[in-house]
Chains A and B, each alone.
Chain A
Amino acid sequence: MSPPPALVIAGPGTNRDRDLALALELAGADPTIVMSTELVDHPELLDDAKLLAVAGGFSYGDALGAGRLLALDLNVRIGDALREFVASGRPVIGICNGFQVLTRTKLLPGALGHNAHGRFECRWVVLEPQPRSRCLWTKGIEQPIHCPIAHGEGRYVHPDPDALAEAGQIALTYRSTNPNGSVADIAGVCNAAGNVLGLMPHPENFVVGRQHPHARQGSGLDHLGLRLFQNGVAAAAEM
């Protein structure tokens, strides 16, 4: 079977697009990076994609709030096409700035504010996949996922996290110390249908064993971030 085509959206200032494309490729997809400015002029590019990913970085330099301008561009120009893509059940993932974009486009609930300690922070964290989640990206993953965070605006805010948990929309929580003050230790959420995942940490930066900080001590292989992408690509292949 040929690898399912995946589209990675990069806005001006997105910078983890190549990392994300590599993760999708290693997970078995055929990724293409497209500038958001190109995509809004050619929404038909979405038709051929079986998986959509919004990469991390600093679109528009985080001016006036992380992810807001890119979300505005997408919403104004191709909002309907994106909602159709989601409604079709095809897997969508937004990481870091991509997560911020997906909340601002209302494809995911909640919002992301400045870290509680007020600073950008980069460090490795441990993520707990939530067994009750409806999320197709975390389905069946029992081992915690290890990967780095690198963000300044990653504090997840939601008025009713209990309802979110009840609906199976909390996909990942911080098992290590909550790095940013997110409500209910939430690191990643999905939509009600479970095909759209947004998360602040960067599983795309743990796709080969050597990337783990303790790889030399033989640790990490059970906790690959690649697992998430394998789930997403498997779902895409069935579309």
Chain B
Amino acid sequence: MTVADIVFVEGELDADQLTRLQGFLVDPLLQTGSWNVPAGDGVEVTFLPGVTDTSAGALLHAAEQLGVPVTAAATGRRIEFGDDVDDEAAERIVRRVVANPVIERWSAGTVEPTFHAESTATGVAEIVPIIGKSTDELLTIGVERALALDPEELLAVQRHFTEAGREPTDVELETLAQTWSEHCAHKTFRAVISTDDGEDRPSLIAMLRNCTDAIDAPFVRSAFVGNAGIIGFEGDTTYALKAETHNHPSAVEPFGGANTGVGGVIRDVLGIAHRPIAVTDILCFGPPDTPLSEVPDGALHPLRIRDGVIDGVADYGNKIGLPTVAGAVLYDAGYTTNPLVFAGCIGVAEGWQLHDGPHPGDRVVVLGGRTGRDGIRGATFSSLTMDATTGEVAGASVQIGDPIVEKLLIDVLADADDLYTQITDCGAGGLSSAVGEMAEGVGADVELELVPLKYAGLEPWEIWLSEAQERMVVAVDPSKLADLQDRCDYYGVELADIGEFTGDGVLTVRSGGTPVLELTTDFLHDGRPQRQMTAAMPTPVRDAWIGREVDDPRATLLALLSHLNIASKADTIHRYDHEILGATAVRPLVGALADAPADGVVLAEPTDEVGIAIGIGVNPWWGLHDPEAMAYGAVDEAMRNVVAVGADPDRVALLDNFSWGDPRRESTLGELVAAVEGCCAASMAYRAPFVSGKDSLNNEYTGADGKRHAVPPTLVITAVAHVPDADVCVTPVLAQPGNALVLLGTTQREFAGSHLDLLLGEPDEVGTVPAPDPDAPVRYRNLHQAILEGLVWSCHDVSEGGLAVALAEMCIAGRFGAEITDLPHDDLTTSLFSESQSRLIVEVSPGDLDRFRDVMHEDVLVLGHVTEGDDLVLPGLDPLDVEDLADAFSRTEDGS
């Protein structure tokens, strides 16, 4: 199979002009090219009309520089197959492997390019009669327009317009649907929930906020307000923290979905006036070896999703110039039809203050990319469960990113926070939610004809709802507009002044002067009836310590090291630029051969003394058995990760990201309530406040056969912590033969949801999930003291796979052996493979052992010592060669 790039140009060009263009497009040292229409068999692929084609834009720019009169351009690919592939097979390969029908079209032979995506729009809003309709009729309207609103919400809308004495426009209905969507309004997290355990609880969001308020940490500058949480550990420096999900878009168009997920979370940080400095990603996929026959109709194969998602994350992060530093890749059959893409971003600012605008009289200004028909109804799309037809109907929900435009937006906005009085990003809901949120309590009057479009022909509601990427909305005092325009001109960023913040509390949207939307911002933001929900609480097993039998512990260790969740993610990590900005002091891969996993990563400006550590905790398999313990454990894991690299456990802020099934099912909601309780308990225990969070619910897929596929309850905890001295970070790299290896924490028969069970299959009685350890907060504080005193040569947290995997990873990292003589539990399997929480392995010089014990103030276990040799020696077992461990660990992610 051969693949060629195609460029299509429109214009009256002579031979000399064609030669000039070819001289630019074709580098004779690398390529060949021809203007002739190819004669042989092949299939050509190009974008669907309306999908952004950045290369076509580049071609027009080049033609202009070369003085070649090209009037329109498009690009595509041509695939030619060998003789052994017939037409039918070629069509199948193109559809399943090469092209994505959601954004592309193709044809055998040659394809006709789309030079002009313009169409004609009416420019007027449609009136949608709802007054006097029955609830059933309202629901039908809701389904037809994919509004994703509850009956109570539809009735509230009806009541509002009945009182106003007029019918709504399509623009108004769509705006309410976006603003009131689960995605934007977080209805479940704000709902009144009654549970079957008789306990009264505040809403989920209030539970998390109450913890943060109670902890009252001095380093929290802003929590649960605006686009991101803000913390500041020292001086005037603040960090903005945010993590988001982009699950549904990634299921339908993996590259674009993940790509714009990264772009979106970066804008969140930009939207709170911080300069982005790093990206994180946690990805959950179906098993790569899933038989095609087990992939439901209408869904993509997990391998295709994984490759597209990783390409999408890499493309955005690498091009925008941010290091993609921390993350995880998890595999489970539950993610086959519902991949999860969590993307996080961290930003930095000096002397940050919360903006107090917009003020009446400020201009409503849109910066960045142009608006097209992309990503329409994304917020409501992500608030519905998906089914076999989702890929077909959701095409317009897919956004295509342009990281270069966003890079330039960063340059315009970073260090320019005196030029605007308020800022937010255009995310889900597009202008409707960005302007709508900003106008809350103030009001605004905007004209849609002033919004720059990619092509003509968008109806008013499409312009207002479009989720076209790389746009920010800022409120600008008229006196500052010229300065902002200058900055934009310098960086080549488009600025559009589309209206005014009024002060009358009414949001007015016009098309050609005629209002197409008139809503008070009170109704828009507070008119939604609070959702009433019922939860059935889980009843986890907490008192059954059931062990496991393992025939061959050595083989089990090697198999665990090769387990997809534990094995090296080097193939993915190397796809991401984790070096740019020069601040990555502890990388995701560490060790003599840079092939071992770090616990957390550390970022520190090259010339700064202090830095920040980032840790991630996630363990959905625990959640299947005990969501509360899972949540506690996820916080504990994130804490361990940052403490292990040298961060201060008393200066840690947390982010929560929930990806769950449909919360209208009582048991699913009960699991969510339990998980939030686990988060709260851990947050209080560690005095680590949550500063921002996001929930993505409805991660379900109903197959063509009517079968429901939901994700395992997946909570990602991100910890960001203060590193007092970036020069003395700790890693899991064994450093000195003869040093003692010390285990902190207690080891129990806690195997429910363990990787040992994932490997061997669950027994009938699974027993308990690892329980919280009340001594852990003091342990982490003391360990930090030991690190500050220089007593710790290396350190690794014990997590997936247990002690044996952690020891193996330390040996791989240092390319040293270890001789283990004492184990923490009478039962070998428990010692080696239990995943009990709050444990770490620490390398200490023999002469410092007494001092280390003094600092730790608790019983610690000397497991053994580091050796010069090539083997990991475990009691009663034949030695394991470190290179064999490394081979097992570094098997490729394809499972080969």
Contact = CB atoms under 8 A, between A and B. Distances in A.
Contacts of A37: 490, 492
Nearest to A124: B594
B579 A122 contact: yes
Nearest to B324: A122
Given A72-B66, A150-B580, A35 B490 contact: yes
A210 B59 CA distance: 42
Interface in B488-507: 490-492
Contact of B580 (A159, A205, A207): A205
Contacts of B54: 61, 63
A233 to B, nearest CB: 17
Secondary structure dominating the interface of A: mixed
Interface string B314-334: 100011110000000000000
Contact of A216 (B29, B66, B319, B733): B733
A110 B29 contact: yes
B303 interface: no
Interface stretch (B175-183, B401-409, B561-569, B834-842): B401-409
Given A35-B490, A122-B576, A124-B594, A15 B320 contact: yes
A208 B581 CA distance: 13
B607 A157 contact: no
Contact of A19 (B402, B492, B581, B585): B581
A217 interface: yes
A202 B402 CA distance: 24
A160 B576 CA distance: 33
A122 B404 contact: no
Best-surrounded residue of B59, B318, B492, B581 (most CB of chain A within 10 A)? B318
A65 B27 contact: yes
B735 interface: yes
Contact of A35 (B24, B491, B575, B587): B491
Nearest to A214: B592
B30 interface: yes
A210 B735 CA distance: 17
Contacts of A76: 65-66
Interface residues of B, number: 53
Best-surrounded residue of A64, A150, A204, A205 (most CB of chain B within 10 A)? A64
B74 interface: no
A157 B30 contact: yes
B61 interface: yes
Contact of A63 (B29, B55, B575, B579): B55
A57 interface: yes
Interface string A89-124: 000000000000000100000110100000111111
A158 B28 CA distance: 11
Interface in A117-133: 119-124
Interface stretch (B194-202, B723-731, B886-894): B723-731
B30 A16 contact: no
A88 interface: no
B590 interface: yes
A141 interface: no
Interface string A71-98: 0110010000000000000000000000
Interface string B563-607: 000000000001111111110110100101010000000001011
A31 to B, nearest CB: 14
B25 interface: yes
A61 B403 contact: yes
A12 B492 contact: yes
A18 interface: yes
B62 interface: yes
A210 B490 contact: no
Contacts of A60: 58, 61, 404
A122 B590 contact: no
Given A113-B30, A122-B576, A150-B579, A208 B607 contact: yes
Given A69-B62, A111-B30, A121-B575, A15 B55 contact: no
A205 B579 contact: yes
Nearest to B735: A217
B404 A210 contact: no
A181 interface: no
Best-surrounded residue of A65, A111, A124, A202 (most CB of chain B within 10 A)? A65
Contacts of B25: 64-65
Contacts of A207: 582, 606
B579 A61 contact: no
A123 B726 CA distance: 21
Given A57-B321, A69-B58, A205-B582, A122 B29 contact: no
Contact of B404 (A58, A64, A73, A104): A58
A121 B404 CA distance: 19
A228 to B, nearest CB: 15
Given A13-B319, A64-B25, A124-B594, A204 B58 contact: no
A62 B55 CA distance: 9
A232 interface: no
Contacts of A111: 27, 29-30
Nearest to B493: A12
Contacts of B579: 122, 148, 150, 202, 205
B224 to A, nearest CB: 32
Contacts of B65: 72-73, 76
Given A120-B314, A157-B30, A15 B407 contact: yes
Contacts of A57: 319, 321
A204 B606 CA distance: 11
Contacts of A18: 581
A69 B585 contact: no
A68 B31 CA distance: 14
Interface string B25-37: 1010110000000
A38 interface: yes
Given A15-B320, A15-B321, A211 B582 contact: yes
B24 A122 contact: no
A3 interface: no
A150 B314 CA distance: 11
Interface in A38-71: 38, 57-58, 60-65, 68-69
A22 interface: yes
Nearest to B731: A216
Contacts of A62: 319
Best-surrounded residue of A104, A111, A122, A123 (most CB of chain B within 10 A)? A122
A161 interface: no
B575 A120 contact: yes
B606 A208 contact: yes
Contacts of B576: 122
A22 B582 contact: yes
Contact of A38 (B403, B490, B607): B490
Contacts of B491: 12, 35
A64 B408 contact: no
B601 to A, nearest CB: 12
Contacts of B735: 217
Contacts of A64: 7, 24-25, 55, 58-59, 62
A79 to B, nearest CB: 11
A57 B318 CA distance: 8
Contacts of A208: 606-607
B409 to A, nearest CB: 11
A60 B58 CA distance: 7
Nearest to A150: B577
Nearest to B575: A120
Interface string A207-238: 11011011011000000000000000000000
Interface in B354-408: 402-404, 407-408
B319 A61 contact: yes
Contacts of A110: 29
Rank and list the top 3 A-B pairs by shortest CB-CB distance, nearest first.
Answer: A15-B321, A63-B58, A111-B29
Given A13-B408, A204-B582, A211-B582, 4 more contacts: A16-B580, A63-B57, A69-B62, A202-B579
16 contacts: A12-B407, A13-B319, A16-B321, A58-B404, A60-B61, A61-B403, A61-B404, A64-B24, A69-B58, A72-B66, A76-B66, A111-B30, A120-B318, A122-B576, A150-B318, A216-B730
